[in-house]
Amino acid sequence: MERNFPRPYAISRRVALALCLSNTGLPFAATAKEEFPNKPVRLISPFPAGGSTDILARLLSKHMFPASGQALVVENVPGAGGNVGAALVARSPADGYTLEIGAMSTHAMNGSIYKNLSFDPMNDFDTVALLAYAINAVAVSASVPVRTFPELLAYIRANPGKVNYSTGGIGTHNHLTVALLAKTAGLDIVHVPYKGGGPAVAALVQDECQLYAGGASLLLPHAQAGKVRLVAVTEKTRSELLPDLPSVSETLKGFEVTNWYGAFAPRGLEASRRALLNQEIHRVIALPEVADRLKGLGMVHASLSPLQVRDVLQADHDLWSRTIQSLRIASE
């Protein structure tokens, strides 16, 4: 005899499918692919507003996943050479909804400088994408009476202990660049750390400090306005973007410092989501308006896979671990 269940007991097709899947041992959730993103994504910049990581984060937030309708929210979490923001990301769920838009220094350098970190800069993160290589330039304030790098060396040697150099904090890329420069050239200069590259460049512009070495992205607008003067790049050879600017190695043989920015996720991000984020970031960076903006900031993009970025990071970590030990730079 056929039985007609009253409506409250009717079994929907979805429930029936779930019951069938539970009998086969397959999770019901696996039948539907979750759309990503389906909620806001946090882009953590571990340095103050106005710095290179902040600029890159805001470029990404403007263009990533436009069809999703979800916001990409930039949060500046500065402190301790990028460690405060990086620690926040390391403690976040590995679901792709919290990303660090960070610097090479926060991961390749900080583990050798800070001895009491609450996280592992190398092993608590997954590399997602390389955002840009940044031209690294040596700059002086307008008050310093030099126009070339050799003249700068001569000026510092004639004024030992009287030239201050600003940085984004102990252990940041610009700190180690100038510390290595000082050791290589035998210079007596004074380190003045600030909380990020933006404030450090502002100190240079305002003549609180007379020397800075860092990403040209922060320096070019002030150089064009005549408020600071660029005297060299720290890469091995001259840059195509600034061909008239000599490299430090033309005066100090063998000196070379490079810099790059990347996107990092908490360790354990699922591989397909990691690949999706990598693909979307590269799509955004390749947009004509973004590419032109990067070029104007003295940055160039390299489209690398997450694993290729990890290889680049590991090579820089090995290099700077040796360098930091030789410079005897450390912080609590």
Contact yes or no for 126/265 (Cβ under 8 A)? yes
Top pLDDT among 113 and 24 is at: 113
Report the alpha-carbon angle 196-198-204, nearest 5. 105
**Banded pLDDT at 23 (limits 50, 70, 90):** very low
Both tokens of 66, joined, read 């436009």
Structure confidence at residue 264 (pLDDT):
98
Which one of 5-19, 111-125, 147-161 scores highest in mean pLDDT?
Answer: 147-161
34 φψ region: left (φ > 0), alpha (ψ -120 to 50), beta (else):
beta
Structure confidence at residue 258 (pLDDT):
87
Instruction: Report the distance separating Cα 219 and Cα 198, nearest Å.
Output: 10
Identify residue 257 by its one-letter amino acid code: V
Both tokens of 80, joined, read 């301790």
**Banded pLDDT at 323 (limits 50, 70, 90):** confident
**Banded pLDDT at 190 (limits 50, 70, 90):** very high
The pLDDT mean for the chain works out to 88
- pLDDT, mean of residues 203-226: 93
Q: Strand 260-266 to strand 98-103: parallel, antiparallel, or no bridges (unpaired)?
A: antiparallel
Structure confidence at residue 3 (pLDDT):
41
Q: Return the percentage of the chain with pLDDT > 70, whole number.
A: 89
Kindly report the number of other CB atoms within 10 A of residue 162's CB atom: 12
Domains of the chain (ranges, CATH numbers)? 41-133+259-327 (3.40.190.150), 136-250 (3.40.190.10)
Structure confidence at residue 202 (pLDDT):
95
- pLDDT, mean of residues 82-98: 97
Q: Which secondary structure element, helix H or strand E, spans residue 164, and what is its range? A: strand 164-167
Top pLDDT among 155 and 220 is at: 155
Q: Is the per-residue pLDDT at 8 higher than 70?
A: no
Q: What is the DSSP letter of 201?
A: H
Kindly report the number of other CB atoms within 10 A of residue 134's CB atom: 26
Q: Which secondary structure element, helix H or strand E, spans residue 75, and what is its range? A: strand 72-76
Contact yes or no for 197/174 (Cβ under 8 A)? yes
Structure confidence at residue 9 (pLDDT):
34
Q: Is the per-residue pLDDT at 305 higher than 50?
A: yes
Top pLDDT among 298 and 2 is at: 298
> How many residues does this entry show for the chain?
332
194 φψ region: left (φ > 0), alpha (ψ -120 to 50), beta (else):
beta
Q: Which secondary structure element, helix H or strand E, spans residue 276, and what is its range? A: helix 271-286
Instruction: Report the distance separating Cα 275 and Cα 221, nearest Å.
Output: 35
Facing residues of 141 across strands? 228
Both tokens of 248, joined, read 């430090």
No. of helices (H) and no. of strands (E), the chain: 12, 11
Kindly report the number of other CB atoms within 10 A of residue 106's CB atom: 28
**Banded pLDDT at 241 (limits 50, 70, 90):** confident
Range of weakest confidence among 5-9, 252-256, 292-296: 5-9
Structure confidence at residue 332 (pLDDT):
56
Query: For residue 51, what are the CA distances in angstroms to 55, 56, 173, 275?
Result: 6, 9, 13, 27
Range of weakest confidence among 33-37, 46-50, 157-161, 163-167: 33-37
Contact yes or no for 137/178 (Cβ under 8 A)? no
Angle between helices 173-185 and 306-327 in degrees, nearest 10: 50
- pLDDT, mean of residues 184-198: 92
Structure confidence at residue 15 (pLDDT):
40
Top pLDDT among 16 and 107 is at: 107
Top pLDDT among 216 and 307 is at: 307
